[in-house]
Amino acid sequence: MARRLPDFSPDLTPDEQLAEDLAGFYADPLGYVMYCFPWDEERSIQVVVLQSPFKERFPGAL
């Protein structure tokens, strides 16, 4: 399911627009993380080395 970006309002300053955008993620921590970080640009944030016990639970992951 694709995430929808918050609506843009031309009447708001950039700071107010940012506050509105972030407030929309109050109960959506995954949406916040997907919105705030450049997932398609920085490879180092895409790789997570799992520790035990997660490594055994997800054997196909790094």
pLDDT 10s digits, 39-56: 888 888 877 777 888 778
- 35 and 5 Cβ atoms separated by less than 8 Å: yes
Q: The pTM is what? A: 0.52
Distance CA 11, CA 27 (A): 25
Percent with pLDDT over 70 in the chain: 82
> Greater confidence, 28 or 44?
28
- 48 and 62 Cβ atoms separated by less than 8 Å: yes
pLDDT at 32: 92
pLDDT for residue 23 is more than 90: yes
pLDDT for residue 19 is more than 60: yes
Distance CA 5, CA 24 (A): 9
For 22, the 3-state DSSP assignment is helix
